[in-house]
Amino acid sequence: MNSPTQICRHFGECGGCRFQDLPYQSQLREKESLCRRLQDEAAIETPIRPIIPSPRIFHYRNKMEFSFGEESGETVCGLHRRDRRRSIFPVSECLISSPDTGTIVSAAAAFSRRAGTPAYDPYRHRGFWRNLVIRESKSAGVFMVNLVTSSQGELDREGFLSALGEIPAGDRIASVIHTVNDSPANAVVPEKWAVLRGEPFLEEKISGLTFRIPPFSFFQVNPAIMETFYRELKEFLALGGREKILDVFSGSGTIGLVLAEGAESILGIEIDPEAIVTARFNARLNRKDNLSFRQGQAARVLAENRRLWPGRFDLVIVNPPRSGISKKLARRLLELRPERIVYSSCNPRTFFPQAGLLADLYRPVILQPFDFFPHTPHLEMLAVFQRFDTPELD
């Protein structure tokens, strides 16, 4: 693991894997240095533990989203160029995604060219082909392919299925979805969608648990390191079986399910109603009956229960998006006064400044970075905060 064994043919043109030309140990040192610089700026004295590397540094991602565009007068499917964000270059491989990614993308691009309809122009809001989202269950070795188009054309569904079936990985494409998205936002918005083949989900197995993943749900992109992440989290917390836990930004319930065996009860808060449905299903699937979920915006749900919930929870888990937590949400967390707060952040640039929002009542006792995203500048920071009037962790 000292150095990459290969360099993607798109390196330099693609803006994703900017560290891929560095030996892996150098990548880890860069990420540790970033954390320490941000720590110094935030005046946090708690030592940062050595970063935990990913068990796999190639082909680790379970999801990639590609865009259609026009290149030299023909429709292509690929990624945005690093230096020209409006330009799409065709992708023939992606070394952080599945080895079969390139052939799936190429098959979709070739099919779109044969159809003769233009790619969607996100600036003029005209065209048909928009995105191709590929998900993979690493434990089962199967794919979900989600083709995203506008409504400005007709999809030859049987022709698309046939095109996918002709590639070497065709027999491992377990699910094919067609999503219609006319939103002006340059994102996959599932205004209408249909299953063309298979089931409307994949299943992934991590830490002895089975997680159902619908086409539009968030799920951590590096399952290989999640085994390590969950093991470390459980060791840090050393739950005794009587803890009442609040899981904020609970998503499809993954962290809650992992901790359920060691807790008395877990309540998840999640804004996405589809994620709530999935979380409840995952709890039943794994026979965990001490989890419940409430749908709503986190700060609002906490505000609505500010007279009922202070002192109710021993532990609060916060796993926000890259933007982190707001000042309003931080105030609501402080009102709860749990003994410990776990903050899992995929963006240390927001985490370290926001750690100060908890400083009136809490001190960080564990700062543990994980390399969830080899070859990229990104990482995950797991932090455990202890209330000042409670004993130190062992």
Asked if 346 is an active-site residue, the reply is yes
Q: How far is 249 from 189, CA to CA, in rounded Å?
A: 20
Neighbours of 75 (CB within 10 A): 26
Q: Which of 17, 35, 77, 346 is catalytic?
A: 346
Q: How far is 329 from 25, CA to CA, in rounded Å?
A: 37
Just list the catalytic residues. Answer: 346
